[in-house]
Amino acid sequence: MKMRGMYSGRMVLALGLLAASLSVQAEPLRVVSSFSILNDMVKEIGGDKVMASTIVPANGDAHSFEPRPSDAKTLAKAQLLVVNGLEFESWLPRLQQAAGYKGPQVVATEGITPLAFEGGADDHADHDHDHDHDHDHDHDHDHDHDHDHDHDHDHDHDHDHEPAHDHAQDHEHAPEKDHSGHEHSHQHGSQDPHAWQSLDLAQIYVRNISKGLEQADPANAQYYQGRAKDYAQRIQELDDSIKTRLQAVPVDKRKVITSHDAFSYMGKAYNIRFIPLVGVSSQAEPSARDIAQIIQQARSEQIQAIFVENTVSAKLVEQVARETGAKVGGTLYSDALGVPGSGVDTYLGMMRSNTDQLIKALQP
């Protein structure tokens, strides 16, 4: 009887250890993304196998973002970091240093040939605002069209996993100076970092993120591959839909003014001419000469619409609209998603909404 009790106890202990082991294995991969658009892509591909969080929140401006102590704590716990690259996250090296993060990193734009920002390093003087959309992208297309289901849906899975980012309660900013005592700027280099504004290039984002998840969590590689394939299909379906819908707008009418230079990739993809009020950084300040040139250009070319953006002040847009008589269109989402439940809280929802606003303003 005593021997039977001993075996029973050992069995309970073994089962307990097995359960604990399975529990550890089942913990989702902790993935931190630099801003909300990448965070949504991670959720789409990672599903319930990841715990996704973002540094720059919804409606946050990554150009002027200043990391907070809570961001360093979040990054310190990450098992994978996903960033855009192309000098978009100028604040990231300081945050990584503060967090002590030395783990794996996915650069979502790896393999993309970026468009050149004509002004160079956000120097907007003498910028003629006339973007050439004849650049070539150095990548191949391997979209899978095996399934033609139409499920370009907005997802809401895994949002409960996202750690709360209470930026309002964090009043301490991470240091804004380097070791020499100079203030850090939020400028970009000569390359346009907003490649996600092309659904075609978003396919490269998907492949890079999927590869990063697979390498960080090999046990679930097949799961990530399957979700990435499904997501790529929905991106392709939306891309095809936008091209079809834009046929209703004559090419010579596809001219709009936007707050900052964030839509060149979309312009190239769909033959739309975006005339920005400021450079690649939303924090750049246009000169009086720049504004006068845009107003003159808008009048002479009879540009019909000017758009505000969710991360940029509308004051300058409203001034130019008054001077030119152009109507203020809806809000375009450039560098960040909207809040949950807004309809623009996913990447696909954002791209769909931007297209709706453009067509509504430009359609004859």
End-to-end, the C-alpha distance of the chain in Å comes to 90
Query: What is the layout of strands, in order, in the sheet containing 105-107?
Result: 50-56, 29-35, 80-83, 105-107
What does the pLDDT read at residue 227? 98
Judging by DSSP bridges, how do beta strands 29-35 and 80-83 pair with one another?
parallel
What does the pLDDT read at residue 144? 41
Could you tell me the pLDDT band of residue 2, with boundaries at 50, 70 and 90?
A: low
DSSP state of 35: E
Largest CA distance in the chain: 99
Compute the distance between CA of residue 266 and CA of residue 286 in angstroms, rounded to an integer: 22
What does the pLDDT read at residue 137? 40
56 forms beta bridges with: 35
Mean pLDDT for the stretch of residues 109-119: 88
What does the pLDDT read at residue 16? 55
Could you tell me the pLDDT band of residue 114, with boundaries at 50, 70 and 90?
A: very high
Q: What is the mean pLDDT of the chain?
A: 79
pLDDT, one tens digit per residue, over 260-282 is: 789 999 999 999 999 988 754 44
Could you tell me the pLDDT band of residue 165, with boundaries at 50, 70 and 90?
A: very low
Residue 247 above 60 pLDDT? yes
Residue 81 above 80 pLDDT? yes
Find out whether 339 and 38 touch, Cβ atoms under 8 Å: no
Q: Which of these ranges, 24-28, 59-63, 97-101, has the smallest mean pLDDT?
A: 24-28
pLDDT, one tens digit per residue, over 325-339 is: 888 888 999 999 999
Residue 30 above 90 pLDDT? yes
Compute the distance between CA of residue 314 and CA of residue 341 in angstroms, rounded to an integer: 23
Q: What ranges make up the beta strands (E) of 57-207?
A: 80-83, 105-107
Residues 6 or more apart whose Cβ sits within 8 Å of residue 112: 137, 138, 139, 195, 201, 204
Could you tell me the pLDDT band of residue 350, with boundaries at 50, 70 and 90?
A: very high
31 forms beta bridges with: 52, 80
3-state DSSP assignment of residue 273: strand
DSSP state of 183: B
Closest CA to 282 of 197, 187, 353: 187
Higher pLDDT, 321 or 217: 217
What does the pLDDT read at residue 150? 41
3-state DSSP assignment of residue 275: strand
Residue 138 has phi, psi (to 5 degrees) of -90, 80
Compute the distance between CA of residue 43 and CA of residue 50 in angstroms, rounded to an integer: 7
